Amino acid sequence: MKKTTPTENLSKKLIQYGAFSAAVLGMTDVNGQIVYTDIADETVNPGENYALDLNNDATGDLLFMVNTGGNFAFMFPVSSISASSYNSNAIVGFSSYPYNYPSNLNTGDVIDSTNGVFSLARGDFNYSSCAYPGSQFCDGMDGYIGIHLVVGVDTYYGWARIQVAPDASSITIKDYAYNSTPGEAIEAGQTLSVDEFSRNNIRIVALDNTINLYNLPSSINYSLFSVNGQKVANGSVADQDSYTIEAYGLASGVYIIELVDSNTKDVLRKKIVL
């Protein structure tokens, strides 16, 4: 079996995800402020890394890594595997010399210009089962990191939901979002702008080769994509509070469902497993 080097691993992940995001998740809703990306969970194991592309422009914004010994989970604000190639992005967190710790945010915490941040430095999630007292990712549960993404002269605010193993042997990146309006805040875990979708609290439940939609607005269009970006189903629903999409002919696996409000043009995308 060929061993994947960090350079090969980063390039492969960027190419694969770049193609996927262009085909599916890169279809940004120009009427909505919040751009939410729900990926198939990406787990970084010892000796591996993962480049997070927050704004889906095929350029890594943050690099997540686990050391080869499997006891140190950390990240860099870089666009390559070189720790010296820092970009201008910042992470919500704090410094306790000589280390920097990303904050483990709760759902609803505001990410904006008032945050305490660090930049041009490594961010430590967990070392040797949280041997350092400043570590914030110790319990093995999901948590949010706050991101200040700098593009030219503009700063965008976003979050990523991650899970760090209690022994620091892995990092799993689950989903992320950013506010596409420069300088405007986002809440940790926020996936939608304040629109009809969020007010109606749409529910999507995949069960037994069916996709059940609840609390729908008056009219929507839906599309279902495979993880390689192929559209495998689509349709529309009008004047129904709930609707069931039959998916018996599809192979088991991870899919992305996209709902578009026909009136407001707001978009909701969610990862499902059939």
CATH of 196-273, one of 3.40.30.10, 3.40.50.620, 2.60.40.3080, 3.40.605.10: 2.60.40.3080
Residue 170 to residue 72: CA distance in whole angstroms = 9
pLDDT digits (tens, 9 = 90+) for 166-201: 999 999 999 999 998 999 999 998 886 655 565 567
User: Could you tell me the residue ranges of all domains in the chain?
Assistant: 6-187, 196-273
What DSSP character marks residue 274?
Answer: -
pLDDT digits (tens, 9 = 90+) for 207-266: 888 999 999 988 999 999 887 678 899 999 999 999 999 999 899 888 888 888 888 777
pLDDT digits (tens, 9 = 90+) for 35-65: 888 888 999 999 999 999 998 888 889 999 9
Which of the two residues, 31 and 165, has the higher pLDDT score? 165
With 50 as the cut, is the pLDDT of residue 130 above it? yes
Q: What is the pLDDT of residue 17?
A: 40
Q: What is the pLDDT of residue 19?
A: 42
With 70 as the cut, is the pLDDT of residue 14 above it? no
Which has the closest alpha carbon to 14: 47, 76, 58?
Answer: 58
Q: What is the pLDDT of residue 200?
A: 63
pLDDT digits (tens, 9 = 90+) for 66-104: 999 999 999 999 876 655 578 899 999 999 999 999 999
* From 6-10, 109-113, 132-136, 160-164, the region with the lowest mean pLDDT: 6-10
What's the chain's average pLDDT? 84
Q: What is the pLDDT of residue 196?
A: 55
User: What does pTM read for this prediction?
Assistant: 0.65
Residues in Cβ contact with 88 at an 8 Å cutoff, skipping those fewer than 6 apart? 77, 119, 150
With 80 as the cut, is the pLDDT of residue 10 above it? no
Which of the two residues, 109 and 228, has the higher pLDDT score? 109
Residue 138 to residue 132: CA distance in whole angstroms = 10
Which of the two residues, 8 and 205, has the higher pLDDT score? 205
Which whole-number Å values give the CA distances from 181 to 86, 155, 158, 209, in the listed order?
A: 24, 9, 11, 38
